[in-house]
Chains A and B, each alone.
Chain A
Amino acid sequence: MRTKIRRFFALLLACTATVLLSACATSGDSESQHTLTLMGKKTDLEKSYMIRLFKQYEAATGNRLEIISFEDAAYEDEAAARFERGDVPDVFLHFNNAELTRFDVPANFRYLNDETWVGELTDSAKAYCLDGDGNLLGLPFWESSVSGCYYNKTILDSLGLKAATTQAEFDMLCETLAETGYTPVCWPVDGCSWMPQFGLDPIFADDPALLEQLNRNEIGYADIPAVTAMVEWIAAAADKGWFGDDYAETGWDQIAPALASGDAVMTFIWDTWFYTDFNAKGPYTVEDFALMPVFMNTVEGGTYEGGNLNMMMVNKNSGQLETALDFLAFCADPENYNMAFEGVSTVSCFQRQTTNIQSHMVSDASASVAERERVSTAATRIVGYNAEDVMAALDSLLSKKTDVPGCVEMMGASRAQRMTQSQASAPAE
């Protein structure tokens, strides 16, 4: 009830501000109005909460946002081309991943560690937006989720079993589930290349120095025992039937049916998936599921992966730097982000984010998540990492076309090739 009253007042305030801003816009000084250029992927910018935010901002400030968007597939190249021509937008939307190196962050963007709104961020959201040197690169303004091992608690309860807290328990759980005729883990292949990165995250998140060595090419995957351990576990799990018999033929579309029917008991995915894609009919619904860490033999206690967030980055060379910084401050205002994310299923990025919807699965495991969550590291921080490449190598392994060392070798070779391509296309300093 209190929330509803708060929402009402917030809406009233927003309407008032809009009316006032509109009045100013029609009668005020046109020189005080600014137009900020904002560049991002077309689909990203069409998210409802983004549209709401932009409208809110223009209404509240009288400034105008000139949206520059590209199709998803062409985004990186088109944006990089513009950057090369010196056509850098005032605000740039991008994930904190390896692709970002193409845009020469130190030269083009302002570090935001000293902004007043920094304390408003959750730890995990803030951690995601840092670079290797601890510089805050942008304001995370995105729907977030917790990736982990989502399991059918109803089934486990019916079997007198409970969630695993260690790798040994997870293995026992898989073994016992397999004994009783269930497919322990739904391990789809087609279009589901994110899974290996969950296992790799703790290796590099827990040891940044190792990540740096890897990125400097001082070592390779084969030099990291945990990587081999993960691949060995995947191979063993597949051999023991823990992924089922037909995992090689399954893909994105088969996850929901498998979980809804109870054929599969667990899968490695994120919570918001259950609200956006778990649409299959079956005896089991989202209410039957719970969250435990992902166990892939890389860390004993398992791991969760934090959300991958789109950051708003500010062109430090922009003539409208202050306006752009004000825009970010506007976005980090609790009133504004709560307005924008109202009703959106997401893990909170801000400390006082209250209008979003958070799953019971994450809430129930909040203590475990808080203890074991790691920033998405493999996919975002390993230079040359490509989820599809890793999945392809694992496919070769699981189809017996290669062995564990061969798979690790393939992973490394693919990454090296990507690195070479990336360096070739990186802007000259």
Chain B
Amino acid sequence: MKKKLLRSMWVILICVVATISIFVAYFRFISQRIYEDSTRQLQEIYSQVNHSFGAFVERNWGLLDGWGEYLALAGDGESGTVADFVAGEQEYWGFSQFYFLAEDGSCVTTAGEENTMGLDGALDSLFKDQENVMAGETLATGQEVTVFAVPAPAGSYRGFAYDAIAISYTNGDMANSLNVDAFSGKARCFVLHSDGRVLLSTQSGGGVFENYLVYLQAASDLDDAALARLQSSWEGGETGLLRCRIGGVDHCVLYQSVGYQDYILVSAVPQSVISEGFLSVQGITMAVLIAIFLVVVALLIFLFIARSRRQSQMAQMELQHRDLMFDALSNSVDDIFLMLDIDNQRADYLSPNVERLLGIPVQAARESLRVMEKCVLDGDRFIPREELEAIPLQGSISRECEYMHQTTGERRWYRLMVYHTGIQDVEKYIIVMSDRTEERKMNRNLQEALDAAQSANEAKSNFLSNMSHDIRTPMNAIVGFSVLLEKDADQPDKVREYTRKIKASSQHLLSLINDVLDMSKIESGKTSLNVDSFRLPELLSELNIILLPQARAKRQTLEVHVQGTPPEQLVGDKLRLNQILINLLSNAIKYTPEGGRIDFQVCELPQPSPQYAKLRFVVRDNGIGMSPEFTKRVFAPFSREINSVTNKIQGTGLGMAITKNLVDLMGGIIQVESEPGKGSTFTVELSFNLPEQDAQEQEAWLRSKVTHVLVADDDEAVCVNIREQLRDTGVDVSFVTSGGAAVEAAIQAHDRGEGFHVILLDWKMPDINGVEAARRIRERIGADVPILVLTSYDWWDIEEEARSAGIDAFMSKPFFVSSFMEVIRPLLLEAPKPIEQPQAVSDTVLQGRLFLVVEDNELNAEILTEMLRMEGASCELAVNGREAVEMFENSEPGHYDVILMDVQMPVMNGYEATRVIRTGSHPEARTIPIVAMTANTFAEDVRNALDAGMDGHLAKPIDMDAVRETVGRLLKRGSEEGGEERP
């Protein structure tokens, strides 16, 4: 690059020198030619001047010659004729004075003025030699004139005798007559004697020159010899050209003889004046050449600049493209690039992704790196200056820091690679901030995965250990008592005791296996929700039925509270919800000592969307509670707090884990608060879809014409709740908090003729209970008004007493509008029905029944056959589904009461066999109760069974209580649908 530049400079220099040399040579040549021409012109000019001057002189002398002869004839002038004549000639020719001259030099003008002339020593020439004379003369007034005199015939003028006549010109007149105007009047022209004395000057003001030789001696660079030669030339009447400096200025001195006496015409012209023409041409030429030169130079400069600019633009464009590419690149990665100036430590470049990655405006960061400091966590600095300065040239350092995004607060880890670079003595720092966050996360995840794997391995070990323990414990009991049973088979009491314990252990083992399988299925993600519409009151009622006996067995108080008016119809997985709540409530019962209290609360939470309902279920007990440590892991599998109390309580440690997983599966949350010795509170919040509003329900209330209800309950909250629930139905609720008050209110209303349409009494109230209150009301108002008892307790113990007291029906708490309507509708519209009471299934329900048992496992079939026999029932066996179908198809109607169908069988499984039976031609194909009997106990197994057309599901191992309950229910339903119960 430098060589190229140097070569270009040399070429330019040579071109310039060559151009200047050509110019100089050209101008020298032109200058010489023009100077020579000018000199020739000068000589020609002054030859003409000399010629004019000669003609002027000859003219004057000629005039004088002519006038002399005339004047001689004209007489002495007394008459004035001469004077008039001279005046006329003077006016015509322009001379200043006319003289008559005498030989002694005296003279007289036509006006008679006398004077004297010396004619510069030429009197003798005039008078003796009879020559014409031209001479300078200073008059008495001091005026200097040039006199032209000629000999004339002797005569007299006014008595003055004369021999010559003369005329004079002032020097100004002479100059005008000569009319030398060459060289713009800048040339000095003299007529002078050969000794240098000036006769006249053609130039205005030139009269101050008295002797030009003296002047040249003083003012020129001519030495005495040169001046002597010059004077000699003048004296010789020579013509010549002399170059010298006069007054410091180069002059050309041109001289030539006038041709009269010793007069010389001398002109001195400044050389610059002679060369003026040349200078003009030179100037124009120079101007043109310079203009051309400048144009060429300007063109070259323009081309150079244009090229440079184009190159610069290209380079700039390339840089911009690179910047864009780099910006795009940096935008697509999570690395930040920064180029730092060493002097001001400002960012020359900063990738635009800094805003995305660190939340810092790019411009602000480019202006000052201080803003980067804000992002650095733990009080660290971005890159300390001293650290930068310590990096050697071409060296680098790296460091990792955690940065926080300035807008989102996100933390990211960056690795800074700082390179100290230098290009052409310009040093920069290039900093690359590589995002290490994912790497760190991955490392952390790997670590966590490793930890999890280790934990899982540990858990597996724990699980196996737990399983081993938990399975072995009941198995040990079963095996042990089986041995004892065999040994003490002849002792009935011991046999019963052993079998009871074997049964209990078996039940425990079974529940353990169920939980393990359930948990396994949930964790494997195979659990799905069976979403369907269900009624909340029904669910609560079932819970009450299931759990109330357990609580009562431990003399615990289990109360269900419904706050507000939660929707009664919900869409969700009732089975899973039931499982969750049973787990929580049964745990509460299990871990609450006898006489304790369990409160189950249901309320609706605010929900922005009308299509959803969010319910909160709270199970609160005052049981043994949990330690804070255990509370944290209560939902972990196989977690059981070990203490003196819990050790006596059987449990798998999987209940809460299953509950938590089910809640998660349903998109809800579960929380626990607990304190050892004070109890625990589990809170579950779940969202449910809401079905479309049932308009018929509203119409039912209108048709019922029930508009005024009296409620009596010592718990005012219950009263208020009932009123709130009935608000939308248009029913007006009056409530009192005691039995006495209820009686009084009912009677008063009746007496006013504004009697209540329904009276709802709590059973147990402080003063008088509900039954007694009903009795007293009936005594006064008669039997027209339905009276209901609202209770949390089983009422079959008091049913008869209640009926006699005038109670029309019972309702279990909590109160629900739909339940209320179901209870009062038959009381208002139809004849009163016997009060329904959930009846315990009869122990003899199986007695005399014939079962078609479809079981491929011979051992199971044998057990079942024996157990049915023990219940007074009998059975026929089929070993697979096909055989079962054939046996049913071939049977007489009514031959079989129930089909107990295994599911997993060879040839034809239970589901398929059921579908074949249901689609078969047997008269009872669609009515014969078919109950699944399988080890597949999950909810979807139940659902699959029902979907296949089965009517129920029994889990293996078979629990005869369950068989009785299920079969009894199916047979009852069959009898209701068929109009009569099967025999």
Q: Does B453 reach chain A (CB closer than 8 Å)?
A: no
Cβ contact within 8 Å between B248 and A159 = no
Cβ contact within 8 Å between A179 and B205 = no
Known: A159-B218, A176-B219, A180-B218. A165 touches B207 (CB 8 A): yes
- Closest CB in chain B relative to A210 CB, distance in Å: 27
Complex Cα–Cα for A166 and B246 (A): 24
Q: Does B141 reach chain A (CB closer than 8 Å)?
A: yes
Give the residue of B204, B209, B247 whose beta carbon is less than 8 angstroms from that of A160. B209
Complex Cα–Cα for A158 and B213 (A): 11
Q: Does B449 reach chain A (CB closer than 8 Å)?
A: no
Question: Binary interface profile of A, 155-192, with partner B (CB < 8 Å = 1, else 0)?
Answer: 00111111111101111110010111100000000000
Of chain B, the residue at the smallest CB distance from A365 is B142
- Closest CB in chain A relative to B218 CB, distance in Å: 5
Of chain A, the residue at the smallest CB distance from B210 is A162
Q: How large is the interface on A (under 10, 10 to 19, 20 to 34, 35 or more residues)?
A: 20 to 34
Complex Cα–Cα for A169 and B175 (A): 13
Q: Does A1 reach chain B (CB closer than 8 Å)?
A: no
Complex Cα–Cα for A11 and B142 (A): 41
Contacts of B796 in A (CB 8 A): none
Q: Does B211 reach chain A (CB closer than 8 Å)?
A: yes
Please report whether the interface of chain B is mostly helix, strand, loop or mixed according to DSSP.
mixed
Q: Does A73 reach chain B (CB closer than 8 Å)?
A: no
Complex Cα–Cα for A165 and B207 (A): 8
Please report whether the interface of chain A is mostly helix, strand, loop or mixed according to DSSP.
helix
Q: Does B328 reach chain A (CB closer than 8 Å)?
A: no
Complex Cα–Cα for A159 and B217 (A): 8
Known: A158-B218, A159-B218, A180-B218. A164 touches B246 (CB 8 A): no
Cβ contact within 8 Å between B219 and A180 = yes
Contacts of A254 in B (CB 8 A): none
Contacts of A158 in B (CB 8 A): 214, 218
Q: Does B249 reach chain A (CB closer than 8 Å)?
A: yes
Cβ contact within 8 Å between A162 and B247 = no
Q: How large is the interface on B (under 10, 10 to 19, 20 to 34, 35 or more residues)?
A: 20 to 34
Question: Binary interface profile of B, 414-433, with partner A (CB < 8 Å = 1, else 0)?
Answer: 00000000000000000000
Q: Does A367 reach chain B (CB closer than 8 Å)?
A: yes
Question: Binary interface profile of B, 670-701, with partner A (CB < 8 Å = 1, else 0)?
Answer: 00000000000000000000000000000000
Give the residue of A169, A170, A173, A176 whose beta carbon is less than 8 angstroms from that of B247. A176
Interface hits, B142-174 → A, CB 8 Å: 142-144
Q: Does B642 reach chain A (CB closer than 8 Å)?
A: no
Complex Cα–Cα for A162 and B215 (A): 11
Q: Does A356 reach chain B (CB closer than 8 Å)?
A: no
Most buried by B among A160, A169, A181, A368: A160
Contacts of B142 in A (CB 8 A): 165, 367-368
Interface hits, A129-168 → B, CB 8 Å: 157-166, 168
Contacts of B196 in A (CB 8 A): 160
Complex Cα–Cα for A165 and B215 (A): 19
Question: Binary interface profile of A, 330-374, with partner B (CB < 8 Å = 1, else 0)?
Answer: 000000000000000000000000000000000000011000000
Interface hits, B189-203 → A, CB 8 Å: 196, 198, 203
Q: Does B225 reach chain A (CB closer than 8 Å)?
A: no
Complex Cα–Cα for A257 and B885 (A): 162
Known: A176-B247, A367-B141, A368-B142. A164 touches B219 (CB 8 A): no
Cβ contact within 8 Å between A176 and B249 = no
Give the residue of A159, A160, A168, A178 whose beta carbon is less than 8 angstroms from that of B205. A168
Cβ contact within 8 Å between A163 and B248 = no
Known: A179-B219, A179-B248. A169 touches B207 (CB 8 A): yes
Of chain B, the residue at the smallest CB distance from A168 is B205
Cβ contact within 8 Å between B210 and A161 = yes
Cβ contact within 8 Å between A172 and B206 = yes
Contacts of B211 in A (CB 8 A): 160
Complex Cα–Cα for A304 and B212 (A): 29
Q: Does B840 reach chain A (CB closer than 8 Å)?
A: no
Q: Does B645 reach chain A (CB closer than 8 Å)?
A: no
Question: Binary interface profile of B, 220-252, with partner A (CB < 8 Å = 1, else 0)?
Answer: 000000000000000000000000001111000
Complex Cα–Cα for A172 and B219 (A): 14
Known: A172-B203, A179-B219, A180-B218. A161 touches B246 (CB 8 A): no
- Closest CB in chain B relative to A213 CB, distance in Å: 32
Complex Cα–Cα for A80 and B485 (A): 171
Cβ contact within 8 Å between A168 and B214 = no
Cβ contact within 8 Å between B208 and A176 = yes
Contacts of B206 in A (CB 8 A): 169, 172
- Closest CB in chain B relative to A225 CB, distance in Å: 20
Complex Cα–Cα for A178 and B246 (A): 12
- Closest CB in chain A relative to B44 CB, distance in Å: 26
Complex Cα–Cα for A180 and B208 (A): 14
Contacts of A163 in B (CB 8 A): 208
Q: Which residues of A contact B (CB under 8 A)?
A: 157-166, 168-173, 176, 178-181, 367-368
Q: Can you report 13 A-B residue pairs in the complex whose CB atoms are below 8 A from each other?
A: A160-B212, A160-B214, A161-B209, A164-B208, A169-B207, A172-B206, A173-B205, A176-B209, A179-B219, A179-B247, A179-B248, A180-B219, A181-B248
Q: A162-B210, A172-B203 given; name 6 further pairs at CB < 8 Å.
A: A159-B219, A160-B209, A165-B142, A172-B207, A181-B248, A367-B142
Closest 4 CB pairs of A and B: A179-B247, A160-B214, A172-B205, A168-B205
